[in-house]
Structure 1
């Protein structure tokens, strides 16, 4: 009996450190901002409609239902007609504060290597005039287990989301101009 207990303890001593070291991905967070010359209301007029993401250069078309109401949906088609899609749902919307939050319901990891993605888009007044557009998100990499392939790693997820945010923010700077000060 003592030997059996000793054997169980020995096995436990070997397994417990292994279990403690084996963990899945960690949630990544990213925030990018862009300053534009236009006043917040003018910028919000362009980006504040959840159903219209035509301001983003990667988006070919947006279709959806529910307007800017909670649980509204949109389907983004990327690049060209018949291109890859991203299915999203709105879970927070405040026109007065010029902010909304949404989640991705479905996207192929080959398109954007993330899972469990949520994002917030906000327009704020900028000291000295103009606006600051803030786009922030939280997500997990595209591969949920340990030892992901490079294209589904934390680094790939961060690079993918950074690319999406940067392209959209750069398009807004091009559209509205950079502030002079």
Structure 2
């Protein structure tokens, strides 16, 4: 059966419909390009020439960050290793950060915590986990990882609060801490 021709009134609607679709797609693409920050991630690892139990003994307490991180002056935790404990960090160079313990597993040698506000760091909605693993042969591996958003939540952040600044700051924190932990655990 041959196709029926469109009535004239339908032909007039098609250009309007196409124009509407085009306008909608342009509006959507404009908002898609003007999105806010994206979640950033950092993972740092170090192998330590010391048994996992010894390394875990140095970091296992939520309030012990001051004992092994070179930038931390104090790190009291109001409820110790209990989930919900709040750790208030005071940094040696000034500034601070408040973190809440979200998970703690002594058997798996790991804990996770969160900081809603980055405090002295150019981040927001920061979550982190640190874990010690047996690497065999009397050695251990420590992995410290975090996910976060840059400090400036809107478009066009200043250079000190953009994605690159956030990643650089967290990377520096993890590297300095793991380097010091390695030195302490290996007795050097």
Note the alpha carbon deviations across 1:92-151, whole angstroms, 9 max, x for none: 00000000000013333xx21111100000000013321101100001111111221111
Give distance in 2, aligned partners of 1:123 and 1:7: 59
Give distance in 1, aligned partners of 2:163 and 2:69: 24
Give distance in 2, aligned partners of 1:141 and 1:21: 18
Q: 2:102 aligns with which of 91, 97, 104?
A: 91
Give distance in 1, aligned partners of 2:104 and 2:157: 35
Moved more, 158-167 or 168-177: 168-177
Q: 1:151 aligns with which of 146, 157, 160?
A: 160
Scaled by the length of structure 1, the TM-score of the pair is: 0.87
Structure 2 unmatched ranges of 5 or more: 1-15
SS at match of 1:77: strand
Q: 1:135 aligns with which of 127, 144, 160?
A: 144
Give distance in 2, aligned partners of 1:91 and 1:13: 42
CA shift for structure 1 position 7: 8.1
Give distance in 1, aligned partners of 2:117 and 2:25: 41
CA shift for structure 1 position 10: 6.4
Give distance in 2, aligned partners of 1:132 and 1:6: 59
Query: Which structure has more helix as a fraction of its residues?
Result: 2
Scaled by the length of structure 2, the TM-score of the pair is: 0.84
Q: Which has the larger radius of gyration?
A: 2
Task: Rate the CA distance shift 1:106–1:140 in 2: closer, same or farther, 3 A.
Answer: closer
